[in-house]
Amino acid sequence: KMTSKKVVELFYDVVSPYSWLGFEIICRYRNVWNINLKFRPAFLGGIMQGAGNKPPGLVPNKFAYMTKDLHRLANYFSVPLHPPADPFEVMFQKGTLSAMRFVTAVQHMETDGDKQVEQVSRELWRRIWSEDKDVTKPESFSEAAKKAGLSDDEIEKALELSTSQEIKDKLKRSTEEALNYGAFGFPMLICHVDGKPEMFFGSDRFELMANCIGEKWLGPNPDRSASRL
Ligand SMILES: N[C@@H](CCC(=O)N[C@@H](CS)C(=O)NCC(=O)O)C(=O)O
């Protein structure tokens, strides 16, 4: 019984800066808490549409607050988040549909663990939310995947796979699954507790989530805080 790990699913899209924070935090805790983490790349545009929600950044005062909030959170969580010069173009004109298809393809191809999907996602976030670089072109995916440690062969295959019907459908299904869990935005975390899915929205609900799965919130850097004990 004590070894049975609770399954925690993280639904995210690299378009979402709060998802990056949530992603880094849960990655830091994945070996601190007794959990089995599952990455669930999905499409936030489809969530907004399916849930009848609107991106919070479209309300001007909210947008101003979020800019400030993200700056504070980036410092607090030590994540190198710097908004792009034109967030509207990046988020609403260019979007991340092909980027998330690429992530889905990488996950689909990965048979041994989830290191590649983790690293590729991180490198795509770094491009948008740290370096203000493109994430719509094949060359951009290629560069991110190379940094993530994929071989040229793997990258070529993933690029090809990412435009296939199979992968388009897979991303669509993940997005629908998220909606069925009650998603209206990202990041969304699903904790499976006693066979029941508990849904949490946001990178700011980890303390509550910890309580729900019988673990302790040790702050933004659990390794550092553990070594102080
Ligand atoms: N309070 C949350 C905010 C997360 C958030 O605003 N996520 C955006 C995407 S970056 C979203 O999907 N929002 C939907 C909504 O606020 O209704 C956090 O700290 O993580």
pLDDT surpasses 90 at 59 = yes
pLDDT surpasses 70 at 72 = yes
What residues act catalytically?
A: 16
Binding site membership of 46 for ligand 1 (Cβ less than 6 Å): no
Q: Distance from the CA of 34 to the center of ligand 1, in angstroms? A: 26
pLDDT 10s digits, 192-213 = 999 999 999 999 999 999 999 9
pLDDT surpasses 90 at 159 = yes
Please answer whether residues 11 and 187 qualify as being in contact, where contact means their C-beta atoms are separated by less than 8 angstroms. Answer: yes
- Best residue among 10, 12, 18 to mutate for probing ligand 1's pocket (most ligand atoms within 8 Å of CB) is 18
Q: 223 falls in which pLDDT band (50, 70, 90)?
A: confident
Q: Is the bond preceding 187 in cis, omega lying within 30 degrees of 0?
A: yes
Confirm whether pTM is higher than 0.90. Answer: yes
Residue nearest to atom 10 of ligand 1 (CA): 16
pLDDT surpasses 80 at 3 = no
Cα angle: 189, vertex 168, 89; to 5 degrees: 75
Q: What percent of the chain has pLDDT over 70?
A: 97
Amino acid 81: pLDDT: 98
pLDDT 10s digits, 4-36 = 899 999 999 999 999 999 999 999 999 999 999
Q: 38: which strand partners?
A: 9
Cα angle: 116, vertex 162, 135; to 5 degrees: 75
Please answer whether residues 175 and 168 qualify as being in contact, where contact means their C-beta atoms are separated by less than 8 angstroms. Answer: no
pLDDT 10s digits, 81-97 = 999 999 999 999 999 99
Binding site membership of 140 for ligand 1 (Cβ less than 6 Å): no
CA distance 182 to 11: 12
Residue nearest to atom 18 of ligand 1 (CA): 202
Q: Distance from the CA of 152 to the center of ligand 1, in angstroms? A: 35
Please answer whether residues 56 and 62 qualify as being in contact, where contact means their C-beta atoms are separated by less than 8 angstroms. Answer: yes
Closest-CA residue to 202 (of 3, 18, 6, 11): 18
Q: Distance from the CA of 149 to the center of ligand 1, in angstroms? A: 30
Question: Domain 6-228's class?
Answer: alpha beta
Given the CA of residue 202, which atom of ligand 1 is nearest to it?
Answer: 20
Q: Distance from the CA of 186 to the center of ligand 1, in angstroms? A: 6
